[in-house]
Amino acid sequence: MEIIVKFLEKNGLVFAFLVVGLIIYLSGIISDKLTRRKIPASAIAILAGLVIAYFGGVYSGGEKGIADIKIFSGFGMLGGSMFRDFAIVSTAMGASFLVLRRTGWVGALSLFLGIVLSFLGGVGVALLWGYRDAVSLTTIGAGACTYIVGPVTGAAIGASSDVIALSIAAGVVKAIAVTIGTPFVAKYIGLNNPHTALIYGGLMGTTSGVTAGLAATDPKLVPYGALTATFYTGLGCLACPSILYLLMRLTFGG
């Protein structure tokens, strides 16, 4: 037994290939037999990933889902930002430059609106829960953008660690909501063409949520959503601790 565990630890990435392959195979069967392909196999597989992450986190007490369990540490590599971004870039092969150019300014507008709307949404919720100081409100609002913007902003303006933790949690919840929600709402918001996918990526911003959600909806849309979403976190890190924080201070004092 010990030999097997050690072996799987040492060959983590290869073992992760095998396990992910099995997850996707089983998801395909579930999609076919239980939902008559109404829910795509990729959506079930991604959802299964989140469930596995939850149990991995509960079991190990760590922060990286299943990757904190030693024999599954290869998941950290396979699902980490390097492979993720490498694969996202490769999807650009199928993207149409014409569509990109035509949607250019709306993409920029959607980024701007996405950051402001998410921020205000987060601030609104924080107000409801009784936060009144500009620093906490800004940090929670930033967390509502993405789980990277939250802690970056919080650290920049000197928020307390529990508020920073809260902002990370808010960002993670948003990423999960986007992942799970996208395939279900796609129909109702007209998310079936590259043009809308670009806007969607800019508005939602969470790269992991947008790309996973679009992959589950229609893989052809992934490059368009990813292209705008990739600017979101950087712009959020720029706007939240500066303009938006000043705005909060003017409104609530501090």
Partner 1 sequence: MIIYGVAILAFCYIIGQLIGEFLGKFIGVDANVGGVGFAMLLLIFLSDWLHKKGYFDKSTENGILFWNQMYIPIIVAMSAIQNVKVAVSSGFIAIMAGIVPFVICLLAIPLLAKLSKNTKPD
Binding residues for partner 1 restricted to 45-74, rule: CB under 8 A: 45-54, 56-58, 63-67, 72
Would you call 96 helix, strand, or coil by DSSP? Answer: coil
- Token reading at 19: 């396990």
Least distance between partner 1 and beta carbon 178 (Å): 6
* 221 interacts with partner 1 by CB under 8 A: no
Q: Are 221 and 123 in contact (CB under 8 A)?
A: no
Q: How many residues bind partner 1 (CB under 8 A)?
A: 115
Q: Which is nearer to partner 1, 8 or 175 (CB)?
A: 175
Binding residues for partner 1 restricted to 138-177, rule: CB under 8 A: 140, 143-145, 148, 152, 165-177
Q: Which of 26, 181, 252, 254 binds partner 1 (CB under 8 A)?
A: 181
Spatial separation of the C-alpha atoms in residues 65 and 67, rounded to whole Å: 5
Instruction: Count the helices and strands in the chain (H runs, E runs).
Output: 13, 0
Q: Which is nearer to partner 1, 1 or 186 (CB)?
A: 186
- Token reading at 208: 């992991």
Q: Which is nearer to partner 1, 3 or 104 (CB)?
A: 104
Q: Which is nearer to partner 1, 30 or 50 (CB)?
A: 50
Spatial separation of the C-alpha atoms in residues 91 and 44, rounded to whole Å: 21
* 220 interacts with partner 1 by CB under 8 A: no
**Half-sphere exposure in the Cβ direction for 161 (13 Å, CA):** 0
- Token reading at 211: 């790309």
* 215 interacts with partner 1 by CB under 8 A: yes
Q: Which is nearer to partner 1, 90 or 251 (CB)?
A: 90
Binding residues for partner 1 restricted to 223-242, rule: CB under 8 A: 223, 226-228, 230-231, 233-235, 237-238
Closest among 138, 204, 217, 215 to 174, alpha carbons compared: 204
Least distance between partner 1 and beta carbon 244 (Å): 13
Would you call 101 helix, strand, or coil by DSSP? Answer: helix
CB atoms within 10 A of CB 246: 13
* 91 interacts with partner 1 by CB under 8 A: yes
Q: Which residue has the tokens 């089983």?
A: 26
* 28 interacts with partner 1 by CB under 8 A: no
Spatial separation of the C-alpha atoms in residues 152 and 139, rounded to whole Å: 9
Binding residues for partner 1 restricted to 96-115, rule: CB under 8 A: 97, 100, 102-103, 105-106, 109-110, 113-114
* 178 interacts with partner 1 by CB under 8 A: yes
* 83 interacts with partner 1 by CB under 8 A: yes
Q: Which residue has the tokens 């802690």?
A: 151
